[in-house]
């Protein structure tokens, strides 16, 4: 039976944005420790390979890649107030992108049943020509474009459940009808984008769905968003690949977020997406680590998702009870916004 592919590597520890920075090497260290405890009968650890320049330039252009490469000449380089590099950051970023592409290649070759790239730095804030929000290269956007060029993907669903809106990923595909981008995120919050009215443009109008949740939302609200919006939209789109920007900063322990999601809440969201993958993509679904800054919350949530990725995981009926109060007006508003695209 095919296993779940997992990419995680000690090389990811070498990106050092600073001792007090939230996006610290310990995030990967706890996941390296977790990987050592995984059942070899269920999981296959894959070593990352550095991404080719051309694959990154296809999304970011040559000038941005040269800029990030140039930071390797400095012990410390501030791309903005939050996004700091060291001499190893460029090389680590190549391995982060390459780790995700490694999972995608394994899925395309049917060498694994699904996969999770536990890499850093994160990527979903990076714009074509700008690093921001701890992100140097937009690994998710690069991966989606890679699937189109190399594996014939025609319809890609990108689900982003990070507490921060994935502005870089949205921007990359805002006018692209071959990518359905759906984001649940705390709003208003960094980076300030992700209002419900942002639905795409041109040929891509209706293929961006933002679910801007108020602070304090927990498992019931996320379950309702998935039940009422995410799953129906995905079923209508009928993707041939599903990619997940899995940020764990909506966790109730996270110091950067204001949400209340539990380990079980993340498992529920993963399970709904895995069900969609079984129905539409022949199981082709890949998870990519984005945020998540409380170490215990990160390890527990990743572990819960990895277990859910296995055959025989608890059914979605064991999910948190759906909420019908706090976000019901928001849900109705989003549904009405997108009715014209049905």
What is the number of alpha carbons within 13 Å of residue 132 lying toward its C-beta? 15
Confidence of residue 312 (pLDDT cuts 50, 70, 90): confident
Q: Which are the catalytic amino acids? A: 125
pTM of whole model > 0.85? yes
Question: Can you tell me the mean pLDDT for 20-25?
Answer: 98
pLDDT digits (tens, 9 = 90+) for 189-217: 999 999 999 999 999 999 999 999 999 99
- CATH code of the domain covering residue 16: 3.40.800.20
> How many domains does the chain divide into?
1
Name residues whose C-beta falls within 8 Å of residue 215's C-beta, 6 or more positions apart in sequence. 186, 189, 258, 259
Query: Alpha-carbon dihedral of residues 12, 247, 6, 317, nearest 10 degrees?
Result: 160
What's 327's DSSP letter? T
pLDDT exceeds 60 at position 319: no
Whole-number Å distance between alpha carbons of 149 and 40: 32
pLDDT digits (tens, 9 = 90+) for 219-274: 999 999 999 999 999 999 999 999 999 999 999 999 999 999 999 999 999 999 99
Whole-number Å distance between alpha carbons of 23 and 331: 32
Confidence of residue 322 (pLDDT cuts 50, 70, 90): low
Q: How far is CA 18 from the centre of its chain?
A: 23
> From residue 142, how far is each of 96, 101, 124 by CA, in Å?
11, 9, 10
Domain that holds residue 306: 4-341
Confidence of residue 15 (pLDDT cuts 50, 70, 90): very high
Whole-number Å distance between alpha carbons of 127 and 102: 22
Name residue 114's beta-bridge partners. Answer: 4
pLDDT digits (tens, 9 = 90+) for 55-93: 999 999 999 999 999 999 999 999 999 999 999 999 999
Confidence of residue 314 (pLDDT cuts 50, 70, 90): low
pLDDT exceeds 90 at position 317: no
């Amino acid at each position: 039976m095919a296993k779940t592919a997992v990419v995680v590597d000690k090389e990811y520890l070498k990106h050092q944005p600073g001792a007090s920075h939230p996006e610290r090497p310990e995030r990967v260290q706890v996941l390296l420790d977790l990987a050592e405890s995984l059942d070899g009968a269920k999981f296959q650890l894959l070593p990352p390979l550095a991404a080719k320049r051309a694959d990154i330039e296809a999304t970011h252009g040559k000038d941005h890649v040269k800029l990030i490469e140039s930071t390797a000449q400095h012990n410390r380089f501030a791309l903005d107030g939050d996004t700091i590099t060291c001499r190893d950051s460029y090389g680590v970023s190549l391995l982060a992108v390459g780790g995700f592409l490694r999972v995608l290649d394994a899925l395309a070759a049917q060498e694994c049943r699904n996969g999770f790239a536990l890499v850093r730095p994160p990527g979903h804030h990076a714009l074509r020509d700008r690093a921001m929000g701890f992100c140097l290269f937009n690994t998710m956007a690069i991966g989606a474009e890679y699937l189109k060029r190399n594996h014939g993907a025609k319809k890609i669903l990108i689900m982003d459940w990070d507490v921060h809106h994935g502005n870089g990923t949205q921007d990359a595909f805002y006018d692209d009808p071959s990518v359905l981008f759906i984001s649940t995120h705390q709003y208003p919050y960094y980076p300030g984008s992700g209002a419900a009215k942002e639905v795409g443009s041109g040929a891509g109008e209706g293929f961006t769905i933002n679910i801007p949740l108020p602070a304090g939302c927990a498992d019931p609200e996320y379950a309702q968003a998935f039940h009422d919006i995410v799953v129906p939209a995905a079923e209508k789109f009928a993707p041939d690949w599903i990619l997940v920007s899995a940020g764990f900063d909506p966790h109730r322990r996270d110091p950067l977020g204001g949400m209340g999601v539990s380990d079980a809440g993340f498992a529920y969201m993963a399970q709904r997406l895995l069900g969609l993958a079984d129905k539409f993509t022949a199981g082709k679904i890949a998870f990519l680590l984005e945020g998540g800054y409380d170490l215990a919350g990160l390890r527990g949530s990743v572990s819960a998702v990895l277990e859910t990725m296995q055959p025989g995981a608890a059914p979605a009926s064991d999910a948190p009870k759906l909420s019908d109060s706090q976000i019901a007006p928001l849900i109705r508003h989003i549904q009405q916004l997108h009715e014209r695209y049905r």
